[in-house]
Amino acid sequence: MKNDHQEPLEQLNIETPVETTPEEEAVLEDLIREFGGWSKPEPEAEPAPKADADMEAPSPMEVVRVAAAIRAATQGPVDLTGDTIRFAPITEEQLAQAEEEERPAVEIPEEPEAPPDRYQRRAQRRSKIRLRRLELRRRRANRAAIRATRQEEPDTVYPTPEDACEDHRRVGSLRIRLLASVGMCVLSLILLVLGAGPIGPLDLTGYLRGICLAMMALLLAQSVLSYEIFVRGVYQALKLRFDLNSYLVLTVVITMADGFFAIEEGRLPFCTAPQLLLLTALWSVWLNKRAKWRTLDTALSMEEPVAAAKVEKAWHGLDCIFRKEGSLDAFTAMLETPDATQKTMRVYAPLAAAAALALAAVASIGGQGTFLWSWTAIMVGALPAGGFIACTRPFCILAGQLRQDGAAICGWKGAKNLSGECGIVIEDADLFPRKNIALNGIKMYSDLSTRKVVGYATAVIRAAGSGLLPLFEDVMKQEDGRHYTADAFHQYEGGGLGAEIRGDVVLLGSLAFMRLMGVQVPEGTRVQSALYISVNRELVGVFALTYQPSAGTRLGLAQVLHSAGLTPVLATRDFMITPALVKKRYKVSVDRMEFPVVAERVRLSSDEIGEKAVHGALMAKDSFLSFSSAVTCGRLLRRAAHTGTAMAVFSGLLGLLLMAVLAYLGSAMALSAANVTLFHLLWLVPTLLITGLIGKS
């Protein structure tokens, strides 16, 4: 038995093992066999498992009890000297504590949840409904954003602006075909009048069959001349973008089919009205190419283009338009995006075509008209001629006007960016350019030299970034002024500037500012538009200035003040330029002008304000007249396009309902080819007036 324990004792560096009695050795041997020891016992045959299923492994408390029994048998604790593990005596308190830890913790049962009442169930249902609605709105917003992105994609992508300009410049035979279409429309109108009835002694009603064939031939020939309309209409229909061109192509096909039945029925076909619509559509193509060529040619002629850009919520929640550095990178893409009329007609055209088909079926079944005759009349009546030129004609006219001012609108998207309730930021040089500010004289009131006083004033003006800096730099050259650096610069709301220069406190401002700051001003020194300078609260000099109005600025202010929704915001750093001075020099009303505080004026006139600006127009000259012309013309284009589009949709809906009622009643006399053509001519006149008078405003 000693040999069995010799190896573990050597591993524990025990020099003298504890002598044990045979009884103690028997107890230890049984304990080691049951629970294991430091030495690995020799393998023995495993006894057969007991049949008792409730037998479990010994618990820690049983091990403690066995250890206590061994301690009692050996009459004292086992003390092994050296690096050994010592077993201290176990007291009754420790045994009780061990038993207490062995007891399972008492778990407090949770209170069962009460079933929800009807109010709670109703709140849960409402919460689920609200979540479903929010998710539905989010999905709709995502789909709307995707549709808007697709609609903003340009119809044609050009590699460079030069390629786009060259493509729009080449009109080819478009002008000749347009003139030929005008002649064919006039000839068709003459045939329509002659076939409608006798005119005095001239009666050609007996040649109605020949007149009908001639009118159909003219419609076919004009369709060939307007081949790009058919190509665009079919292309858009195949792309599932059924627009006004697609509607016109379908109308021409139906009209040609109805013409053969008109010959047999002895009536005039509806050929003249589709010819008028084809002429309007072809004219729209020429206007669009002409407008884009003028715009691109003007933009490409700019060496350093300046952009009119809008920044959202730039000042007290108001969107403001600034002048920033322009670029031609995205100009062509913006120019080729669809306009408001095209987007509207992509919705109106398929709905009107479907409604015309349904109403024609109702008229043929429940009414007195035939299906093809009713369908043709309704389709022709619901096609608005003004929808082709509602945006292209004013764009072409304004592009020509802006070209003279050296500006170009970035297409419909640019006009949209410049529109809405917003302010236009006006700076010092906009109101009074350098050549319009003159120095009438300098009067000194101290022993300081003129070159030092001029140097002090120039240093303070340079720190303020005022528009007077070019003038005072010229004065510095004339008076051989000294160059200083202004420290502790400050701007005052009372109309003045302050700084510390080489230990001297320098104040620069108006007469009222000097009196407000406690500077003693001698009697008889009151000068209009004068700049006063004091050093250490002592008046040292007065600079008499003259602000002359500019003709270009006067015209630009008139344009801005007459534009609805456009608010002039004065962001001037020259404290002499106030709304009172603007009113006095330019004889304009300043009720709509905004004059922010000094800090806001400095911020609005800084370059950091336009980091997230969206461009609306490009200008070749950094003048206020070009700036105001570009902004007001862009807003005018959007207003004219919306008005023309609304009138076109209204005339189309009116024609749809009117022709449907007449077709249902079977009134062939009222629903004649002449009356349908007259209907389109009457509704085309207001559109021409709206789009033509835009150049006079």
Domain locations in the chain? 2-44+58-100, 167-300+333-406+628-695, 428-604
pLDDT score for 46: 45
Query: How far apart are the C-alpha atoms of 374 and 604, rounded to whole Å?
Result: 62
Extract the tokens encoding 298.
């003007």
Q: How many CB atoms lie under 10 A from the CB of residue 154? A: 16
Give the angle subtended at the CA of 258 by the CAs of 252 and 259, to the nearest 5°: 90
pLDDT score for 4: 43
Q: Give yes or no for a contact between 164 and 334, defined as CB atoms under 8 angstroms apart.
A: no
pLDDT score for 310: 92
Q: Give yes or no for a contact between 691 and 389, defined as CB atoms under 8 angstroms apart.
A: yes
What residue ranges in 502-599 does DSSP mark as E strands? 504-509, 530-535, 538-547, 566-570
pLDDT score for 52: 44
What secondary structure does DSSP assign to 107-172, as a single string? PPPPPPPPPP-HHHHHHHHHHHHHHHHHHHHHHHHHHHHHHHHHHHS-SS--SSHHHHHHHHH--T
With CA atoms as reference, report the closest residue to 383 among 280, 284, 234, 241.
Answer: 280
Fold of 428-604: Calcium-transporting ATPase, cytoplasmic domain N (3.40.1110)
pLDDT score for 64: 47
Q: Taking the chain (697 residues) in consecutive chunks of 10 residues, what is each chunk's mean pLDDT?
A: 40 42 49 46 45 46 51 47 48 57 42 54 73 76 57 70 87 92 95 82 79 94 95 93 94 94 90 95 95 92 88 89 83 86 94 95 84 94 94 93 89 91 92 90 88 92 90 90 88 87 90 87 77 91 91 93 92 90 91 90 82 85 89 93 94 95 89 93 91 73
Residue 199 DSSP code: B
What secondary structure does DSSP assign to 257-315, as a single string? HHHHHHHHHT---S-HHHHHHHHHHHHHHHHHHHHHHHHHHHHHT-SS-EEEEEEEEEE
Q: Whose structure tokens read 């009807």? A: 118
| b (16+ CB within 10 A) / e for 259-271 | beebbeeebbbbb
Task: Please give the order of strands across the beta sheet that includes 422-426.
Answer: 407-409, 614-619, 306-315, 318-325, 422-426, 566-570
422-426 and 437-444 strand pairing: unpaired
pLDDT score for 120: 66
With CA atoms as reference, report the closest residue to 566 among 610, 623, 629.
Answer: 629
Q: Whose structure tokens read 């109106």? A: 348
Prediction pTM value:
0.73
Query: How far apart are the C-alpha atoms of 119 and 341, rounded to whole Å?
Result: 52
